[in-house]
Amino acid sequence: MTDRRTQLAQNLAQVEERISSACAAAGRAREDVTLIVVTKTYPASDVRLLAELGVRHVAENRDQDAAPKAAECSDLSLTWHFVGQLQTNKVRSVANYTDVVQSVDRLKLVNSLSAAAVRTGRKLDCLIQVALDAESGQTGRKTADRGGAAPDEVAALADALAEAEGLRPAGLMTVAPLVGPYAGRQRAAFDRLMEIATDLRSAHPAANMVSAGMSADLEDAVAAGATHVRVGTAVLGVRPRLR
């Protein structure tokens, strides 16, 4: 049986090959796309192996799991991304170990994150999560536990992030929708996200991160112009069912 380190190294090499090929096909430089490995449900020992294998960005989606894991890995030079639905009562904990919050989708969260960032004395990069299947006014809704702001709510959220102490609007994140007009149309969904990202940059030029694409659709995201892909399963294996 191959040991865990070898297995992770092989999976990483395959994902690297997929990203490189997608970049080449799109005429993009490989270094324009950053790999974030989503380590949710996997142990700190895996995070450590990934760091040894050259991974620099990891992502988590539940504070209960992420906080102890990040503490165990605090000696590693990793950038921690938070990609899950964020409740305001978890914000203070998340701000202790997270460098980039990718799931900002409502004004209330901006206020809590700002207060938490000020407390820790750190600056938090924030991505606005866009729900491409959402209508205006459904902000922060719990549909399918995915979260996200409607496209027409992005501008106001970005302005709020820019004004909030301790926060910086850094760009956009999306998960390809399972329902609505973009269901099953990843490339079209990511193209739409890029349009919203262009609008955002005209108001906030430094908000240039576009986080899109997962194990199943990273090629579509790279083709559309994503700067960050979030890959879990293809690196770590199929996740055990969430408790």
Q: How far is CA 205 from CA 14, 42, 61, in A?
A: 34, 36, 27
Helix axes 154-163, 107-120, angle to 10 degrees: 20
Assess 209 for contact with ligand PLP (CB under 6 A): no
Of 207 and 231, which CB lies nearer to ligand PLP in the complex structure?
Answer: 231
Binding mask 159-188 for ligand PLP (x = CB under 6 A): ----------------x-------------
Please, which residues bridge with residue 127 across strands? Answer: 171
Picking from 95, 4, 99, 16, the residue whose alpha carbon sits closest to that of residue 55 is 16
Which span (7-15, 185-193, 195-203, 227-235) binds ligand PLP, by CB under 6 A? 227-235
Contact 50, 39 (CB under 8 A): yes
Taken as a whole, the chain contains a residue count of: 243
Of 12, 33, 35, 38, the one binding ligand PLP (CB under 6 A) is 38
Of 85, 93, 143, 215, the one binding ligand PLP (CB under 6 A) is 215
Of 21, 87, 208, 233, the one binding ligand PLP (CB under 6 A) is 233
Which positions from 70 through 99 interact with ligand PLP, judged by CB under 6 A? 83
Assess 231 for contact with ligand PLP (CB under 6 A): yes
Tell me the two tokens of residue 92.
């203070």
**Closest separation in Å from C-beta 173 to ligand PLP:** 7
Residues 6+ apart with CB under 8 A from 184: none
Of 147, 166, 171, 232, the one binding ligand PLP (CB under 6 A) is 232
**Quick one: 93 exposed, middle or buried, by C-beta within 10 A (0-12, 13-18, 19+)?**
middle
Which positions from 91 through 150 interact with ligand PLP, judged by CB under 6 A? none
Of 192 and 230, which CB lies nearer to ligand PLP in the complex structure?
Answer: 230
DSSP designation for 149: B
**Closest separation in Å from C-beta 208 to ligand PLP:** 19
Tell me the two tokens of residue 174.
């999306």
Question: Rounded to an integer, what distance in angstroms lies between the CA atom of residue 93 and that of residue 62?
Answer: 11
Assess 227 for contact with ligand PLP (CB under 6 A): no
Assess 214 for contact with ligand PLP (CB under 6 A): yes
Q: Is 104 helix (H, G, I), strand (E, B) or coil?
A: strand
Interface residues with ligand PLP (CB under 6 A)?
38, 40, 61, 83, 175, 214-216, 230-234
